[in-house]
Amino acid sequence: MKIKLLFFVLLFAAGPVFAQSPPVDATSAGREFLQALADENTASLRSLMGNDFILLSFDGQSVDANTLLEAVGSGYLVIDSGNSQGNYTRLFQDTGIVTGTWTVKGALQGQSFNNRLTYSLVMVKQGGAWKVVSVQFTPS
């Protein structure tokens, strides 16, 4: 069940952005989070995840921060290419909702995939920095 869940969770990538300093806005934080997933960069992911991070997979299962970090850090997922399109951010004081569509190609534990996903990221300011607290991916 965990393998199936991780398969649905980890089928995404984004364009090149590197998290070297804290993101200045919700949109940047969202891009950096997605790029860290594509780069399998657990240090960047950890720095961008909120205290109460949760990812909802295609089948409605939830994945916490530690599970996602373990999956990414283990090399379970390989991203060959990813392209984010139609990014849109709505701000509500210290909360941002970032949506868009991603086309991604890669492999998960040797199984190839080529998908188009619609995403929604909920960003909040925690400790003065933008953090990802919720991620939802849906096949488009």
Indicate the pTM of the whole model: 0.80
CB 32 within 8 A of CB 17: yes
φ and ψ of 77, to 5 deg: -115, 135
pLDDT of residue 126: 94
pLDDT over 80 at 134, yes or no:
yes
Q: Would you kindly state where each structural domain of the chain is located, as residue ranges?
A: 2-139
pLDDT band at 25; cut points 50, 70, 90:
very high
pLDDT over 60 at 2, yes or no:
no
Architecture of domain 2-139: Roll (3.10)
pLDDT over 80 at 79, yes or no:
no
pLDDT over 80 at 44, yes or no:
yes
